[in-house]
Every structure is written in structure tokens, then in C-alpha cells.
């Protein structure tokens, strides 16, 4: 089941690998919601999906509760007159400032489909700041939205940080974490997915928390780059290492394979 959002580092391409790593359980907990690709393709009876990005969770809640009505509401933004830079920047400002949560949610989808490479990035003031993407004819991903609406009926969406979320885990739960990745180089760091940064300290805190839950009998699986840092941080886990092709570069010829891993704490 394909997610309706474009997403840097989205897990749809490696979903079968993740499926193989996730054991059965009563509830799937995801502290880093992303595009929702993982919970969409699993069959857990219950799903707790959280994220520190309030705009993202607001969108998921509106799809969940609004269904077809909300999807029809979003269609108004996908017209040719809106596929130009000046309109894009006007609507981007509106998304950053409006108190109308339904409109904010619909504008998030519009921005995701019209901005550069479908990035989700915020500045230090918490404002979405990805530039115009110049696509020929962006369309509303209606079939994917309908699939999300159906699947989301078994989910609870909340705004929360990863520590708060993971500390709620109980025996019978399975935790899957897709944090902002450890940079491969010092110039490749990207942690502006929300206003708050996610640096090496947070990476280590996540690894330590995974060990804590593992010792309580709660399995935790973490995706990340395969680096010296992650190998050390995930020393208590079983490692499934593989290569993936990155699709975020605007230059198709520069989309090279990089090392990735799943750290399986069980």
C-alpha cells in the first residue's frame, strides 16, 4: 500500500525487508510517523503513530476523520492556476499562519506535491520553508488517500516526541523507529524535519531506550544509515545491513546506493 505523501527516506521501497524484521504483536508503535508507509503495510490490530511534527499529525487526523469529504475538499488546491511560484509561496505562507486546521491539513498535501522533491523542512521559527518544485502537473493522490483513510481506522495519531512515545510501550507491543538518519558525511546532515534538531545525542538516547525496552521483552527495530556511529550505538542489536538507492537528489545521475541497516533489538 503506497503512502499518499512524498517523503525523503520513505520506507515503501524496502517495506518487505521491514516486514520480515517486525515480529507479531498486539500493537505497533511508531514514534517517527513519516509518510506512514510502515503501519499502512502491516496488519497489527492496533497502531500508535506519533510524531513531533504537529502539521503532519494534524493532516493524518483529518484524513482519518474526514475521509472522502476531506479528500474532496483538498481537490480545490490541485488546479493549474495554483501550479506557479507566486501562488505557491502565498499558499505556503497561509499554511504557516492559518488557524483553520482543516485548511492547514489540505495545504500540507498541496505543498508536499508542489514543493521541491517533496521535502518536509522547517526553519528556526518553525515555518515550512521548502521552495517551489516546478512540476508539470501535480495531482491529488486520491487512491492513496482513500487507502490511508481505511487503514487509519485502527490507528491513534498523537503529537509526541520519541521518548514520551516509547516509554508508553508495554509487553505485546512492537516498536518501529525511523528517525532522522545519522549523516553519512559532515556536510550531509539533515535534521530540520521539525523545528527541533535531532543530533547524535538524540540518536544515542534512542539506542539506549531501545535496549531498555528490549530488556522488558518489547522488541524495537530501528532504521538508519550504516555508519561507525550506528554500529557502535546499536551494539546490542542484531544488524541487517543492505544498500538502498537514494531518490532525494534532483540529479537522477547522482542517486547512488548508500549503506543502510535495520537494528533489531529482541
Average pLDDT score over residue span 11-39:
97
Q: What is the pLDDT of residue 106?
A: 98
Range of the domain at 78: 65-144
Any domain includes 2: no
* DSSP state string for 202-260: HHHHHHHHHHHHHHTT--EEEEEE--HHHHHHTTTSEEEEEEEE----S-GGG--EEEE
With beta carbons less than 8 A apart as the criterion, state whether 240 and 264 touch: yes
Any domain includes 59: no
Compute the distance between CA of residue 132 and CA of residue 90 in angstroms, rounded to an integer.
Answer: 11
Compute the distance between CA of residue 230 and CA of residue 177 in angstroms, rounded to an integer.
Answer: 14
82 and 207 housed in the same domain = no
Beta bridge partners of 224: 261
Compute the distance between CA of residue 153 and CA of residue 148 in angstroms, rounded to an integer.
Answer: 9
Average pLDDT score over residue span 181-203:
73
Any domain includes 246: yes
134 and 174 housed in the same domain = no
Chosen domain end from 120, 144, 168: 144
Predicted TM-score (pTM) of this structure: 0.92
Residue 103 buriedness (CB in 10 A; 0-12 / 13-18 / 19+): middle
Task: State yes or no: pLDDT of 187 exceeds 80.
Answer: no
Chosen domain end from 119, 144, 169: 144
Beta bridge partners of 176: 221
Amino acid at each position: 500500500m503506497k503512502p499518499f505523501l512524498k517523503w525523503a527516506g520513505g520506507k515503501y521501497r524496502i517495506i518487505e525487508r521491514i516486514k520480515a524484521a517486525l515480529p507479531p504483536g498486539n500493537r505497533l508503535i511508531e514514534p517517527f510517523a513519516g509518510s506512514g508507509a510502515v503501519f499502512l503495510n502491516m496488519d497489527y490490530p492496533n497502531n500508535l503513530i506519533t510524531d513531533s511534527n504537529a502539521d503532519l499529525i494534524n493532516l493524518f487526523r483529518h484524513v482519518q476523520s474526514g475521509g472522502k469529504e476531506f479528500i474532496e475538499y483538498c481537490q480545490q488546491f490541485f488546479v493549474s492556476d495554483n501550479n506557479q511560484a507566486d501562488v505557491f509561496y502565498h499558499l505556503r505562507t497561509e499554511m504557516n499562519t492559518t488557524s483553520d486546521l482543516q485548511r492547514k491539513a489540505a495545504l500540507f498535501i498541496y505543498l508536499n506535491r508542489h514543493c521541491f522533491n517533496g521535502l518536509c523542512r522547517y526553519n528556526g521559527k518553525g515555518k515550512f520553508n521548502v521552495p517551489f518544485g516546478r512540476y508539470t502537473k501535480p495531482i491529488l493522490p486520491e487512491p492513496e488517500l482513500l487507502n490511508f483513510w481505511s487503514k487509519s481506522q485502527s490507528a491513534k495519531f498523537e503529537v509526541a516526541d520519541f521518548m514520551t512515545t516509547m516509554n508508553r510501550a508495554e509487553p505485546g507491543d512492537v516498536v518501529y523507529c525511523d528517525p532522522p538518519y545519522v549523516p553519512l558525511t559532515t556536510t550531509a546532515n539533515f535534521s530540520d524535519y521539525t523545528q527541533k534538531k535531532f543530533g547524535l545525542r538524540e540518536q544515542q538516547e534512542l539506542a539506549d531506550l531501545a535496549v531498555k525496552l528490549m530488556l522488558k521483552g518489547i522488541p524495537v527495530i530501528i532504521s538508519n544509515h550504516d555508519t561507525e556511529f550506528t554500529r557502535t550505538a546499536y551494539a546490542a542489536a542484531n544488524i541487517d545491513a543492505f544498500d538502498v538507492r537514494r531518490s532525494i537528489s534532483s540529479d537522477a545521475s547522482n542517486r547512488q546506493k548508500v549503506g543502510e541497516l535495520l537494528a533489531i533489538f529482541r
